[in-house]
Structure formats: C-alpha cells, structure tokens
Amino acid sequence: MKTYNNKEELKDDVNFVCSVVSDEEYKKSLINELFNRWKWTSNDSPWSNKEMELKEKKAIQTLMKLSEDGISNHWEGEHIIFEEVKPHNYNVRKR
C-alpha cells in the first residue's frame, strides 16, 4: 500500500491516472482510493493519524501539568472547585 508524504505526491498520481485511464467510473474509483491513502498517511492531511497523535500528546502534557489537587504550575488564577450542597444537587463554588 502506497503512503504519501504530501499532497503534491497525490496530485502527481491523480494526474497520471487521469492521463492513462479512459473509463470515467474506474478513474473515479482509483482517485478516491488514492485520496483515502493520502488522507490517512500524509503529514499534511487534516485526517492524518500523525496529526491526531500530536494533538493527543499536547493534551496529555497539559493534563500532566495539573497536580492531583487541581493546581497548575502555569495558572495564575483560581481553579473552580464544585461541592455538592444537600438536600439539592447544586454545584456551588467555594469562596
């Protein structure tokens, strides 16, 4: 299975398919297949797993900066702590 590094490689392959294949339905099928390969393997694709992995790593790093007490070493303000008030289930912030 071919993997793509960028959309320029995809464009080259699509142009090749368009110049060689005359059957329109088959051409569309091949182009869709090439697009899907680019979509899931290329670094410049917004659907790329690599892009999602980077976003997930950033989220994990952010969460790890918070202590178990909810205090961040980057936050200068106050974190909101909700407490349950009896007999109703209202979430109220401590003062």
Q: What is the pTM of this model?
A: 0.51
Contact 85, 93 (CB under 8 A): no
Please write the tens of the pLDDT for every residue from 7-41.
Answer: 999 999 999 999 999 999 999 999 999 998 988 88
> In the chain, what are the domain boundaries?
7-67
- Taking the C-alpha atoms of residue 79 and residue 72, their distance in angstroms, rounded to an integer, is 9
- Taking the C-alpha atoms of residue 25 and residue 55, their distance in angstroms, rounded to an integer, is 37
Please write the tens of the pLDDT for every residue from 37-58.
Answer: 988 888 888 777 665 666 776 7
Contact partners, residue 18, CB within 8 Å, separation at least 6: 27, 31
